[in-house]
C-alpha cells in the first residue's frame, strides 16, 4: 500500500518466481490467473496483469489468451538464462549426446578461476573435466570449476544423464552469465581429447555463471574449430514478424 515499499506487481512477480524455482510450480503447470491473483492478494487486476505480463516478457511463463498462464518449459527457461545446454542442442539436431569424464576431483583454484569466482588462489574448488560427444564425435571439452558451498554434491552426480550445467541449474536458478569467446590453438592434451587435426584452432568459450548474486561456477569450453560454431540472432523487441529463418545445421546457438 505505502508506495515507499516494493511495488505490489514486483512482489507478485517474485512470489511466482519463487514458486517456480522451489519446484512448487513446475514447467507447464498453470499459474494463477489474473482474477485469482486479484482475489487471493487483493491487488487490482491491472496490477496482477502487469506482474504476469512482465513474467511473460521475461520468459518465465507463457500466456495464452482465453486459456491461461503457464510456467515456461525447460527450453524457454534455458533461453532466458542464455546458458544453453549442449545436450539439448545436440538432441535438437537429432543426434545422440554422450560424455566422457576425464577428471573429477577437488582441486585448488588456479589464478584465472580464482579471479572469476572471487575466491583466493588455491581455495578448494570442485573440478570436472569431460568431453561431450555428438554421435560419438567429440564436440566440446568442458573444464569446469564449482564453488563447493554452492553444490557440495556436484562431483557425486552421474553426468551421463545430466550435464554439469543442467545440474547446477537444478540446484538453484542461475541468474546471470558472462561469457568470453576467443580463438586459440589447443594444447596437445586438448587436441587429442577432441580428436582434432594438427593446425586446427579451437573456439574457446569461458563462462562464469551467477546465482544469489555471486559467481558460483566458472567453465572453459573448448570446441574444435572445424566442427563447431556459435550463432546468434537479434531482432528488436517490437519486430516479431519479419524473418524467421530455420535453425541451421551443426551449430550451437548463442545469443
| Among 6, 68, 1, CA closest to 37 | 68
Pairwise CA distance, residues 127 & 131, whole Å: 14
Instruction: Give the position of cell 524455482.
Output: 21
Q: Interaction with DNA in 163-192: which residues (CB under 7 A)? A: none
Assess 236 for contact with DNA (CB under 7 A).
no
Give residues with Cβ within 8 angstroms of 87, minimum separation 6.
97, 132, 163, 166
- Judged by CB under 7 A, the chain residues 39 through 58 that form the site for DNA are 42-47, 49-50, 52-53, 56
Choose from DNA, its own copies, none: what does 187 bind? Cβ within 5-8 Å by kind: none
Instruction: Return the number of the residue (6 or 183) whose C-beta is nearest DNA.
Output: 6
Question: Does 2 interact with its own copies (rule: CB under 8 A)?
Answer: no
Helix (H, G, I), strand (E, B) or coil at 108: strand
Opening angle at CA 119, ends 204 and 223, nearest 5: 10
- From DNA, its own copies, none, which one binds at residue 179 (CB under 5 to 8 Å depending on kind)? its own copies
Per CB under 8 A, which of residues 93..132 are in contact with its own copies?
none
Number of residues engaging its own copies in binding (CB under 8 A): 51
Cell of 236: 528488436
C-alpha cell at position 168: 547446477
Q: How many CB atoms lie within 10 A of CB 118?
A: 11
13: contact with its own copies by CB under 8 A? yes
Q: Which residues bind its own copies (CB under 8 A)?
A: 13-14, 17, 46, 54, 57-58, 80-83, 175-185, 199-204, 210, 213, 215, 223, 225, 228-239, 241-243, 245, 251, 254
Amino acid at each position: 500500500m505505502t508506495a515507499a515499499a516494493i511495488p505490489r506487481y514486483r512482489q507478485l512477480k517474485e512470489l511466482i518466481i519463487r514458486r517456480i524455482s522451489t519446484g512448487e510450480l513446475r514447467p507447464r503447470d498453470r499459474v494463477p490467473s489474473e482474477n485469482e491473483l486479484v482475489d487471493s492478494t487483493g491487488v487490482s487486476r491491472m496490477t496482477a496483469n502487469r506482474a504476469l505480463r512482465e513474467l511473460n516478457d521475461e520468459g518465465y511463463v507463457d500466456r495464452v489468451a482465453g486459456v491461461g498462464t503457464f510456467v515456461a518449459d525447460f527450453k524457454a527457461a534455458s533461453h532466458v538464462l542464455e546458458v544453453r545446454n549442449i545436450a539439448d542442442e545436440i538432441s535438437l539436431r537429432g543426434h545422440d549426446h554422450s560424455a566422457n569424464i576425464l577428471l573429477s576431483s577437488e582441486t585448488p583454484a588456479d589464478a584465472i578461476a580464482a579471479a572469476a569466482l572471487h575466491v583466493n588462489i588455491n581455495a578448494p574448488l570442485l573440478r570436472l573435466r569431460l568431453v561431450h560427444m555428438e554421435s560419438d564425435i567429440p564436440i566440446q571439452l568442458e573444464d569446469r570449476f564449482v564453488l563447493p558451498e554452492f553444490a557440495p554434491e556436484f562431483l557425486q552426480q552421474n553426468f551421463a544423464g545430466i550435464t554439469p550445467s543442467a545440474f547446477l541449474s537444478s540446484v538453484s536458478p542461475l541468474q546471470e552469465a558472462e561469457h568470453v569467446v576467443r580463438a586459440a590453438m589447443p594444447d596437445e592434451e586438448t587436441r587429442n581429447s577432441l580428436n582434432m587435426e594438427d593446425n586446427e584452432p579451437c573456439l574457446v568459450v569461458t563462462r562464469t555463471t551467477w546465482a544469489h548474486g555471486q559467481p558460483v561456477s566458472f567453465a572453459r569450453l573448448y570446441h574444435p574449430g572445424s566442427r563447431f560454431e556459435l550463432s546468434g540472432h537479434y531482432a528488436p523487441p517490437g519486430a516479431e514478424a519479419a524473418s524467421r529463418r530455420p535453425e541451421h545445421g551443426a551449430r550451437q546457438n548463442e545469443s
